[in-house]
A and B are shown apart, each in its own frame.
Chain A
Amino acid sequence: NAGVMQNPRHLVRRRGQEARLRCSPVKGHSHVYWYRQLPEEGLKFMVYLQKENIIDESGMPKERFSAEFPKEGPSILRIQQVVRGDSAAYFCATKPATVNTEAFFGQGTRLTVV
C-alpha cells in the first residue's frame, strides 16, 4: 500500500483559486476512489473511476468538483474556485480490477483554503 502516491501532501490555496490533487495508483491498479475527510470526521466517498471512465460520482458536489483518470498518468481531482469549506484531507484509494481485492489508501492531500 505504500505504492499509492498522492501529491502534493499539503496544498494551500486562496479563495477562488483552483486546486489540483494527484493520485498515482499502485502499478497494475486500474480502479481509483476519492474520499474527503473533514476535520475530526469520517471519510466520505466522492467518486469512483476506472481508466478513462467515471463509474460512480454520487458523492461529488454538483459544482466546482471534477475528476479524471486518463489512460496515461495519475488520477486528478480538480476543485475550481475553492472556498474555505473545501479545506479537508483528500484521500485516494486504488485497487486492481480483480474482484474481492482490497483498496489501499494513499497518504492524502491536506488542502487548506485561506
Chain B
Amino acid sequence: GENVEQHPSTLSVQEGDSAVIKCTYSDSASNYFPWYKQELGKRPQLIIDIRSNVGEKKDQRIAVTLNKTAKHFSLHITETQPEDSAVYFCAASWKGGSEKLVFGKGTKLTVNP
C-alpha cells in the first residue's frame, strides 16, 4: 500500500522567512496530493492541493510542487507570519479508487515574531 514520508518533523523560522516541507510517496498510482493545516485541538483544514497532471500550483503565499518521477512533493510558504504556526500534514490518494488519504506524520511549524 501507499506510504508517505514527511520531513522535517519540526521547523522553526523567523517571521518573514520562507518555510519548506517535503514529502515522498511510494505508490505511483497516487494522483492527488493535498496539504492540511491543523491547529491545536482543531480539525485538519485543506490549504492547497495538487493533482498529478500539474507540476506546480500557487495560492498567494502558499505553493506546492510535484515531481512525479521522483515521487516527491513539497509545500512552500513565503513571508511567514506567526499565524502560520501549526502542524502541517501532506497526504496522497488515488482519485479513481477509494480516495482514502494516506498522511505523513506531520511537521510542526513555529514562526517566531
Contact = CB atoms under 8 A, between A and B. Distances in A.
Interface in B94-108: 95-96, 98-106
A100 B1 CA distance: 21
Contact of A41 (B42, B43, B98, B106): B106
Contacts of A95: 99
Nearest to A45: B100
Given A48-B98, A99-B96, A42 B105 contact: yes
Interface string B79-110: 00000000001000001101111111110000
A91 B73 CA distance: 25
Interface of A: 1, 31, 33, 35, 40-45, 48, 55-56, 58-59, 91, 93, 95, 99-100, 102-108
Nearest to B9: A40
A56 B96 CA distance: 14
Nearest to A55: B98
Contacts of A91: 43-44
A56 B101 contact: no
Given A56-B100, A105-B43, A42 B89 contact: yes
12 contacts: A33-B101, A35-B103, A42-B104, A43-B44, A43-B101, A45-B101, A48-B100, A93-B101, A99-B95, A103-B101, A105-B44, A108-B43
Contacts, number: 51
Interface residues of B, number: 21
A45 B106 CA distance: 15
Nearest to B51: A100
A43 B95 contact: no
Given A33-B100, A42-B89, 12 more contacts: A41-B105, A45-B100, A48-B100, A55-B98, A59-B100, A91-B44, A93-B101, A103-B99, A104-B46, A105-B45, A107-B42, A107-B43
A111 to B, nearest CB: 14
